[in-house]
Each structure stands twice: as structure tokens, then as C-alpha cells.
Amino acid sequence: MLSLFPTLLSWEELAPLLIRLVLGAIFIYWSYKRLSDKSGSGRSKAIGAVDGILAVLLVIGLWTQLAAIIVAIDLIVRIIKKVTEKAFLTQGVNYYLVLLVLAISLIVSGAGWVAFDLGL
């Protein structure tokens, strides 16, 4: 493989770890927001709980590819909702698109370093 910095290729498993941690942190925040909202509906609380479970799975690296598939589906639903509201390619949708690409990269690459998935 041709690389500008070939010595950095030995660190290639670091990228999925960083992606997992970033996605997990974002989903922890979204989960906290939904679960701490006193006026939230039961459906909103359930979505917050699912977001929290996905966040924990991503952060610890357990069933990473399955969690990333569910995250990708969640993000696709959020994007579709924004598109139906005629808000395509606004700040929120751009953010969701980047997160969707990160989730897809985890589906393809796996968990990376420091994960329970390493033995699978």
C-alpha cells in the first residue's frame, strides 16, 4: 500500500476506536437529553433508552457492527424526517450525514482496538 506516512499504517486500528468513542459520546448526549426531559413522551423515553444502550455498546466495543447497523438505521430515519420537513442539507442534516458515514465505516471495519469484539 502506498502511503505518504507508511509508519502510521501500524496505527490503523486506532481509527475505529476513535470513531466508536465519538459516536458513543454523541449517542450518550442524545440519550441524556431525551431521558432528562420531564415533558417527554413514553416513546421519546424509549428512544432515549435505546440510544443509551447503543452508546454503551459502541463505547465498550461489544457487538459493534450490530450497534453500528442500528445507529445507521436511526440516522437514516432522522435524515428522512428532515427531508420530509424540507430541511435537506441544513446544519442538522449535514451532521447526521457525517454520523451516518461514521456508522457505516464501523460496519465495514469493525471495532478496532480496546473492544470486547476483538475475540469475535
Instruction: Measure the CA–CA gap between 93 and 78, rounded to whole angstroms.
Output: 8
Instruction: Measure the CA–CA gap between 85 and 11, rounded to whole angstroms.
Output: 42
Q: Is the pTM of this model over 0.85?
A: yes
Residue 119 has pLDDT above 80, yes or no: no
Predicted confidence (pLDDT) per residue in 47-70, tens digit: 999 999 999 999 999 999 999 999
